[in-house]
């Protein structure tokens, strides 16, 4: 299945380290980050799972729930959790889905036959999903490169900001930086919408201070 940005993500019910999960119900009114792993007891993924656990405070501030997936079973996952907690000095505080039947991997297009992980293992993908269960971002990483969760948080900050204001975020934007007024807003409307003013670098490129700061 090919998922495109803006699609409603597939619902599923699957076992996990925190019991049976109905995905849409589990998301509820939150944002969600689903990130997949080719199998348990893999070194790069061990560091990633620990990093996400340590970021719980940042996720909570943004109303995000994290959930991982690997193709091994729950008992294997639980053994892996012990290693993650020991080596990463943290407590795992979110579920790992067991996808032994590859149901979720197939629904979300996580198996890429030509990838380095082979045609039976999930690639290392990230899905950012909003409270309406719409897909807002996908990223797929090679097996050798750990994911950048600071970038994933940055994207959520941008999405949550731009959902609520008529702005876009420029390259390398971080929370608190200036933003771009979208072209559909006229200069006259921009004067009302953005009382802090704006800098018209070009007629189509108008910078303004982040409106919610």
Q: 152-160 — which CB contacts under 8 Å span 24+ positions?
A: 152/33, 152/126, 152/128, 153/55, 153/58, 153/59, 153/62, 155/128, 156/31, 156/33, 156/62, 156/64, 156/128, 157/62, 159/128, 159/130, 160/31, 160/62
Nearest to 33 by CA among 175, 138, 172: 138
Annotated active-site positions, please? 45
* Euclidean distance between CA atoms 125 and 139, whole angstroms: 6
């Amino acid at each position: 299945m090919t998922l495109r940005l803006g699609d409603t993500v597939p619902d599923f019910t699957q076992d996990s380290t925190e019991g049976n999960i109905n995905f849409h119900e589990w998301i509820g009114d939150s944002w969600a980050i689903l990130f997949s792993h080719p199998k348990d007891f893999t070194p790069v993924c061990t560091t990633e799972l620990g990093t996400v656990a340590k970021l719980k405070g940042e996720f909570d501030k943004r109303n995000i729930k994290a959930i991982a997936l690997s193709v091994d079973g729950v008992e294997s996952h639980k053994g892996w959790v012990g290693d993650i907690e020991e080596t990463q000095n943290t407590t795992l505080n979110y579920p790992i889905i067991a996808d032994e039947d590859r149901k979720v991997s197939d629904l979300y297009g996580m198996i890429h036959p030509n990838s380095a992980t082979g045609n039976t293992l999930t690639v290392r993908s990230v899905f950012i999903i909003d409270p309406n269960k719409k897909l807002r971002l996908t990223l797929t990483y090679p097996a050798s490169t750990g994911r950048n969760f600071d970038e994933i948080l940055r994207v959520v900050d941008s999405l949550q900001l731009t959902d609520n204001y008529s702005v876009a975020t420029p390259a390398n934007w971080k929370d608190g930086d200036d933003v771009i007024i979208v072209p559909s807003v006229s200069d006259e409307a921009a004067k009302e919408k953005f009382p802090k003013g704006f800098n018209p670098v070009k007629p189509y490129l108008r910078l303004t201070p982040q409106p919610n700061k």
